[in-house]
Structure 1
Amino acid sequence: MEHILHAVRCQYLTPNFLREQMKNCDVLKKVPACREYLAQIFKDLTLHKKPVVKERTPNTRRVIYIAGGFLKHSLDVLEGYNVDEKTWTQHAKLIVPRSGLGGAFLKGMFYAVGGRNNSPDSRYDSDWVDRYNPVTDQWRACSPMSVPRNRVGVAVMDGLLYAVGGSAGAEYHNSVECYDPDHDSWSNVKPMHIKRLGVGVAVVNRLLYAIGGFDGTNRLNSVECYHPENDEWTMVSPMKCSRSGAGVANLGQYIYVVGGYDGTRQLNSVERYDTERDMWEHVSSVTIARSALSVTVLDGKLYAMGGYDGEHFLNIVEIYDPAKDTWEQGVPMTSGRSGHASAVSYHQCPIHCDHLDHNMSLEKPPS
């Protein structure tokens, strides 16, 4: 039995799931060797150790989804870029146009979180959360956040969706809340030390990092790290450059921060944080200085998409190869935009996620 268990990538299960299995599973109670194996994995996860095995990448269609954004007004578009076919495809529109939103895939669904509806006939910051099912090409409304969050940072950790910082009008948030998709509910966690609008977020080894942003007075170079075990934020080494509205994503042990705005100008500089050494270093710059771009990871490369260069809304896509420390041009987006959200889907929505849409109807936008 233990040999079968060793063939499973248990390192990518959540600590809560492992705890429940070790407590309640009758099979594990009868096979001590299996329980001890899972106990060691549980310990490594809670100590935030780097997994000893690589996460399996499904050999299926890979799509980068881009939602919302701003081009003269907030957008309701959802587009998918098929990396293998190098084509962009239009999908079902957002329920409400939004820019400054966050996005992430969780359990096969794409979540669009917060943002601002900045349209000719409507201007308001949003607490809305919508979920897109790639199989049915439909959006569903989820429970809203506790407060509106424009230019919010969004990340997934332990099967939960975290919404970090942002703003509601002139109120800048240091608050953080997390969403449980199985219960369609939000709960607050410990707030950050600093208020952050336009914050970048990333997760490495079950630690959530909040990077840079704007506190209402200054652009920030400070970085905080959230430990879910003790519900605490700790300060780590600051970036070399203060910036808000940067594109942020992680590759392995590194967190990359691309472009942004320093309070005077848009930036083309890129720096990366080594989470194991608590050190920052510069890497090759992007071609065009820009802020309010989105960055996502696919096949071990960074995709930096769109943004604003101080005069124009960009459709440019640049792809970074960390092995060569070089950027190359990708297939541009169908139109320029800034303040959009992006995330990667490797596969269709799992069957076990169908229950997420039960008893939920398509929603109409608020009046």
Structure 2
Amino acid sequence: MPCSRSALGLMVLGLLGVATAAPSCGPGQWVNLTSIPQPRQEHATAAIGDSIIAIVGGLVPTANSTATTDLVQLYDVTTDTWHTAAPAPHKVNHANAAGVGGRLYLLGGLVEAPLSSGLTMNWVATRACYVYDPAVDAWSEIAPMPSGTEKGSAVVGVHEGMIYLAGGMTVLQTGYQDAVTSVVAFNTTSGAWQRLEAAAAELPESRQHAAGAVIGDSFYVVGGRRYGQLYHKDTVFELNLTDLAAGWKVSAARMPVSRGGLSGGAVGGNFYAFGGEGNVDAATGVFNQTERYSPLSVQWTEMAPMPVPRHGTQAIGMGGRIYIPGGGLQQDGKSISVGGGPVIFQHPTTHFDAYCP
């Protein structure tokens, strides 16, 4: 049940007393947390401050399939509890979201477009952008993405009040999806989109459904794919945000297991990559790998695999843990009979866990 605006504001500002303790876990362990209130995948995940995790939009189950939603739900890491917030201004999946200065920014994403002959799915990028203020539980419209830069499924990085969106896609429809190279930035101080220097404005190669994070002054884009689910990559792209003119670099250290649809987050100066889809060796088509990338040593290390392998979610590093809410339990479009029941083609879950490096 949604909480009141005043209660929600207090919760997000960290002023409510701790009702329960979040489960503990040791180094290299996984811990199960309170399930998210609604099964979902292809949602955006972002941190608001140092104790709240927001999930925005995505896909939720319907009687026969899934549908795009405007649901926004907030998780308090100190109490292991969920609260429903004001819905997003529109239904959106594969959204780009980030938390800056105690507010949540929703920048573009994919929305449902009219179907034509032969199409059962038609999602296209939107330019619309909004900011959510948890103190009043309300959304406000902000400057839209510049014409021609709209996209969803981008890798999001935050650095000194700037939100960077790297790669992504502009269309996802039956039998077709694209991937872009563009990198754009939103200045949360001025409220305006900012042009990047040419060397920083394009990834070395187009990517969507990748993962990434800002570690120190560097923005990393890890894995992902070009076009379909089986065209996944093992690359690591790096951009020094204090020297944009130097442009993107390609790390010599490739991911041990190439994959797209993965999630990832940074803790302790390292990047951790989880799951993904396009696994031809698994019945579900989903990867269970957990791998750590060290920018200092430029090396990858295999870690404890995901107990519940997933794709179509995003991870958030916070307080020494990496949180992974929801996601899809099978590769989208892959027909699977679950427990001898009917064949399904998507399988969003409520499962929520965290990895403790």
Mark yes or no: TM-score above 0.5.
Answer: yes
Of 42, 67, 87, the match for 1:144: 87
Of 121, 128, 131, the match for 2:74: 131
Question: In structure 1, what is the Cα distance between the partners aligned to 2:297 and 2:93?
Answer: 35
Per the alignment, residue 95 of structure 1 pairs with: 37
Pair 1:343 & 2:300 matched: no
Pair 1:232 & 2:210 matched: no
Question: In structure 2, what is the Cα distance between the partners aligned to 1:243 and 1:126?
Answer: 25
1:113 CA drift (Å) = 1.3
Question: In structure 1, what is the Cα distance between the partners aligned to 2:240 and 2:205?
Answer: 16
Per the alignment, residue 111 of structure 2 pairs with: 168
Structure 1: segments with no counterpart, 5+ residues: 1-78, 349-364
> Which shows bigger deviation, 147-156 or 243-252?
147-156
**Quick one: structure 1 residues 140 and 122, their matched pair in 2 at CA, closer, same or farther if it must change by over 3 Å?**
farther
Of 255, 259, 280, the match for 1:290: 259
Per the alignment, residue 216 of structure 2 pairs with: 252
Question: In structure 1, what is the Cα distance between the partners aligned to 2:111 and 2:24?
Answer: 31
Q: Tell me the number of residue pairs that the alignment of Structure 1 and Structure 2 aligns.
A: 270
- Give 1 or 2: higher helix fraction: 1
Structure 2: segments with no counterpart, 5+ residues: 1-21, 113-122, 172-176, 322-349, 351-357
Question: In structure 2, what is the Cα distance between the partners aligned to 1:231 and 1:140?
Answer: 28
Of 236, 240, 243, the match for 1:277: 243
Question: In structure 1, what is the Cα distance between the partners aligned to 2:61 and 2:137?
Answer: 27
**Quick one: structure 1 residues 232 and 105, their matched pair in 2 at CA, closer, same or farther if it must change by over 3 Å?**
closer
Identity of aligned residues (%): 25
Per the alignment, residue 180 of structure 1 pairs with: 133
Question: In structure 1, what is the Cα distance between the partners aligned to 2:79 and 2:191?
Answer: 37
Question: In structure 1, what is the Cα distance between the partners aligned to 2:183 and 2:61?
Answer: 29
Pair 1:219 & 2:219 matched: no
Question: In structure 2, what is the Cα distance between the partners aligned to 1:266 and 1:308?
Answer: 9
Determine helix, strand or coil for the equivalent of 1:344. strand
Determine helix, strand or coil for the equivalent of 2:287. strand
CA contact (8 A) 2:161 2:189 kept: no
Normalising by the residue count of structure 1, what TM-score does the alignment of the two structures yield? 0.69
Question: In structure 2, what is the Cα distance between the partners aligned to 1:289 and 1:347?
Answer: 26
Question: In structure 1, what is the Cα distance between the partners aligned to 2:290 and 2:62?
Answer: 26
Question: In structure 1, what is the Cα distance between the partners aligned to 2:63 and 2:23?
Answer: 27
Normalising by the residue count of structure 2, what TM-score does the alignment of the two structures yield? 0.71
CA contact (8 A) 1:112 1:341 kept: no
Q: Which amino acid aligns with 1:317?
A: T
**Quick one: structure 1 residues 119 and 272, their matched pair in 2 at CA, closer, same or farther if it must change by over 3 Å?**
farther
- Cα distance per residue 1:132-181 (max 9 Å; x no partner): 12343321100011011211122111211112221122242122211111
Q: Which amino acid aligns with 2:98?
A: A
Determine helix, strand or coil for the equivalent of 2:70. coil
Mapping for residues 199-214 of structure 1, pairs under 5 Å: 199-214=154-169
Mapping for residues 1-367 of structure 1, pairs under 5 Å: 82=25, 84-107=26-49, 108-118=51-61, 121-169=64-112, 170-193=123-146, 194-216=149-171, 218-236=178-196, 237=200, 238-263=202-227, 265-278=231-244, 279-283=247-251, 284-309=253-278, 311=280, 312-346=285-319
Q: Which amino acid aligns with 2:241?
A: T
Q: Which amino acid aligns with 1:271?
A: F
